Amino acid sequence: MILNQIALNPTVHYQNLAQHIQQQLPTLMIPVFKLDPTSASRAVEELPLDHEKSSEHIDLHTLVDYQPWLKRFYRQWQIALKQNFSQLTATNNLSEPDHWHPENTAKAMNALALSYTGKLIHLLKQDPITVVDRTTLLWRDTWQSFRHELELQQTKLPILQALDNTAHYFQQFWLESWLHIAELQSTLPSNPNRK
């Protein structure tokens, strides 16, 4: 007789998932921001405080419209998910942001990725860790390909910065989502179909 260890003890399984998300998943992601403080693309947490900005030269890029590029980035991610998870024929399209801002775009991209991974795990009964890793690697490849293409086209720096911010937000949302999912799943009973 073969026993399903996940059904017998889902808490241990999801503790393994949480541990994997915390320790291994970040190693599969790309470092979007360099640690060099002179880099044009720095994480928000590293930006100077208001009182430290007074002597800094600030370039404003208000004339650059990065929204079409963010929308294109979202579409590229959507295509990559559809092509790589083609066994999910009936995946509904989620609503897109009204305004293509880096944080909004990243949230939409995260929601799209969670939709696909959720269906793979719950409908097709695939291993959560494998699905999360596979999606993360797909994200990394899609992002690197898109970023490289824009660099070859000598895209303006503000557009690249907006895309880098989007990638940074996506990775943050992706990690937080899976940690939250693992935490929620650990509280479920062994048999979710039980009433």
* pLDDT digit string, tens, across residues 44-79: 344 444 444 444 544 444 567 889 999 999 999 999
> How confident is the model over 18-29, as a mean pLDDT?
82
Buried b (16+ CB within 10 A) or exposed e, 19-50: ebbeeebeeebeebbeeeeeeebbeeeeeeee
Q: Are 44 and 169 in contact (CB under 8 A)?
A: no
> How confident is the model over 171-189, as a mean pLDDT?
83
Buried b (16+ CB within 10 A) or exposed e, 98-137: eebbbebbbbbbbebbbbbbebbbeeeebebbebbebbbe
In the predicted structure, residue 41 carries a pLDDT above the cut 80: no
Tokens of 143: 């992002």
Tokens of 136: 């993360």
> How confident is the model over 121-146, as a mean pLDDT?
91
In the predicted structure, residue 168 carries a pLDDT above the cut 50: yes
What is the band of 42 on the pLDDT scale with cuts at 50, 70, 90?
very low
What is the band of 96 on the pLDDT scale with cuts at 50, 70, 90?
confident
Place of tokens 């208001």: 50
Gap between the Cα atoms of 119 and 91, Å rounded: 8
Task: Give residue 60's pLDDT.
Answer: 46
